[in-house]
């Protein structure tokens, strides 16, 4: 836990990381993880998302679920910036081993309220080693 | 130390709810506090009173219900995940017109929202996730 969060008195936001490891369809993990992120956004914590393994497919462009009769929720990721969820760590190795590049992912942006509401990319490409550092900095890691 | 437990897999198919039970017992035995146990994804199925495992197998629902009674544990089943999978308390069974006696939420469990999970992360020293 961060030193700040340990103190008595006023509550300092905790660092929450939601780790997405599964493909968007095939199992319900991605959808129900997103439901947690949406509810969690109301609690004013410091939220980050991580996408690794097949989880990188959750952000893939051009998803079309008509043929499988599943609800498409891919667009919801683009709305998360409005809820203060602006850090999407995507693991490079997971993209590479699946033949994907940043260009295969949706463009996800947020308006930076600390910088004249400039539109900035939410996706942060990180190596596996860098992602492990991000994980080490968290107070709460929820893995799906 | 104040612990919270998240169970993300259902009983018997996965060992996660067994391990979570054993971990929770160990935490309590060491004198720590367990703020809450939250059941999500197929984990909500642990809270069905209608499971009837073979007599020579462990009964996960009963083990959790007994542990909750003994230690006054707060066992929470996620409402959205539970409704998808047919886990209902009396209020929800009535609200959705499922008929008299349809409620199947086991003793010691209660149904509530995902905010309870986020609160666990905020209030606990450690939130431990059990999944696949």
Give the number of C-alpha atoms closer than 13 A to the C-alpha of residue B9, restricted to the C-beta side.
Answer: 17
User: In angstroms, rounded to a whole number, what is the distance separating the alpha carbons of residues B94 and B111?
Assistant: 14
The confidence band for B117, taking pLDDT boundaries of 50, 70 and 90, is very high
Residue A128, SS3 per DSSP: helix
User: Which has the closest alpha carbon to A37: B9, B40, B44?
Assistant: B40
Decide if pLDDT at A6 tops 60. Answer: no
A40-97 pLDDT, tens digit per residue, is 999 999 999 999 999 999 999 999 999 999 999 999 999 999 999 999 999 999 999 9
The reply to whether A87 falls in a domain is yes
| pLDDT at position B85 | 98
Mean pLDDT across A11-35: 96
| Minimal Cβ distance to B81: which of A32, A42, A45 | A32
The confidence band for B100, taking pLDDT boundaries of 50, 70 and 90, is confident
Tell me whether B115 touches chain A (CB under 8 Å): yes
Domain ranges of chain B: 2-130
State the pairing for strand pair B2-7/B126-130. parallel
Report how many domains make up chain A. 1
Q: Residues with Cβ < 8 Å from A140, sequence gap 6 or more? A: A14, A15, A16, A17, B121, B122, B127
User: In angstroms, rounded to a whole number, what is the distance separating the alpha carbons of residues B95 and B44?
Assistant: 19
Q: Please determine, for the modelled complex, whether the ipTM score is greater than 0.90.
A: yes
A88-105 pLDDT, tens digit per residue, is 999 999 999 999 999 999
The reply to whether A75 falls in a domain is yes
B43-64 pLDDT, tens digit per residue, is 999 999 999 999 999 999 999 9
User: In angstroms, rounded to a whole number, what is the distance separating the alpha carbons of residues A141 and B39?
Assistant: 16
Mean pLDDT across B60-88: 98
When scoring B118, B124, B126, B132 by the number of chain A Cβ atoms within 10 A, the one with the most, hence best to mutate, is B118
The reply to whether A121 falls in a domain is yes
Which residues in chain B have Cβ-Cβ distances shorter than 8 Å to A42?
115
Tell me whether B50 touches chain A (CB under 8 Å): no
Q: What is the 3-state secondary structure (H, E, C) of B31-86?
A: CCEEEEEEECHHHHHHHECCCCCCCCCCCHHHHHHHHHHHHCCCEEEEHHHHHHHC
The reply to whether A5 falls in a domain is no
Q: Which alpha helices (DSSP H) does A14-63 contain, by range?
A: 29-40
Which residues in chain A have Cβ-Cβ distances shorter than 8 Å to B121?
14, 16, 40, 45, 139-140, 142
Phi-psi category of B25—alpha, beta or left, where left has phi over 0 and alpha has psi -120 to 50?
alpha
CATH code for the domain in which residue A120 is found: 3.40.1260.10
Q: Residues with Cβ < 8 Å from A111, sequence gap 6 or more? A: A81, A117, A118, A119, A120
Catalytic positions of B, written as ranges: 78
Token reading at A144: 């799906």
Q: Which domain holds residue A91?
A: 13-63+71-143
User: In angstroms, rounded to a whole number, what is the distance separating the alpha carbons of residues A10 and A70?
Assistant: 44
Burial class (CB in 10 A: 0-12, 13-18, 19+), A104: middle
User: In angstroms, rounded to a whole number, what is the distance separating the alpha carbons of residues B31 and A75?
Assistant: 46
The confidence band for A9, taking pLDDT boundaries of 50, 70 and 90, is low
Residue B78 · residue B119 · CB < 8 Å: no
Fold observed for domain B2-130: Hypothetical Protein Ychn; Chain: A, (3.40.1260)
The reply to whether A2 falls in a domain is no
| Minimal Cβ distance to A43: which of B8, B118, B125 | B118
Tell me whether B80 touches chain A (CB under 8 Å): yes
B83-95 pLDDT, tens digit per residue, is 999 999 999 999 9
Nearest chain A alpha carbon to B85: A28
User: Which has the closest alpha carbon to A37: A106, A91, A85, A90?
Assistant: A85
CA of B6, closest CA in chain A: separation in Å? 9
């Amino acid at each position: 836990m961060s030193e700040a969060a340990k103190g008595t008195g006023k509550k300092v936001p905790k660092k929450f990381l939601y780790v997405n490891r599964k493909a968007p369809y095939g199992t319900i993990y991605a959808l129900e993880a997103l439901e947690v992120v949406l509810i969690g956004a109301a609690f004013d914590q410091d939220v980050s998302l991580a996408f690794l393994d097949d989880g990188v497919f959750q952000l893939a462009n051009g998803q079309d679920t008509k043929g499988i009769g599943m609800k498409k929720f891919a667009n919801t990721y683009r709305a998360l910036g409005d809820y203060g969820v602006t850090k999407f760590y995507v693991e490079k190795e997971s993209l590479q081993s699946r033949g994907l590049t940043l260009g295969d992912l949706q463009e996800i942006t947020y308006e930076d309220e600390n910088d004249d509401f400039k539109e900035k990319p939410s996706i942060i490409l990180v190596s596996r080693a860098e992602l492990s550092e991000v994980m080490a900095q968290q107070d709460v890691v929820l893995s799906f | 130390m104040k612990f919270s437990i998240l169970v993300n897999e259902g009983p018997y198919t996965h060992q996660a709810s067994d391990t979570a039970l054993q971990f929770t017992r160990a935490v309590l035995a060491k004198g720590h506090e367990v703020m809450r146990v939250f059941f999500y994804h197929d984990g909500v199925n642990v809270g069905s009173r209608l499971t009837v495992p073979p007599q020579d197998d462990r009964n996960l629902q009963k083990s959790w219900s007994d542990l909750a009674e003994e230690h006054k544990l707060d066992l929470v089943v996620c409402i959205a995940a539970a409704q998808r999978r047919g886990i209902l308390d009396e209020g929800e069974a009535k609200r959705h017109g499922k008929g008299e006696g349809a409620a199947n939420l086991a003793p010691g469990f209660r149904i509530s929202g995902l905010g309870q999970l986020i609160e666990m992360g905020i209030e606990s020293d450690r939130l431990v996730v059990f999944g696949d």
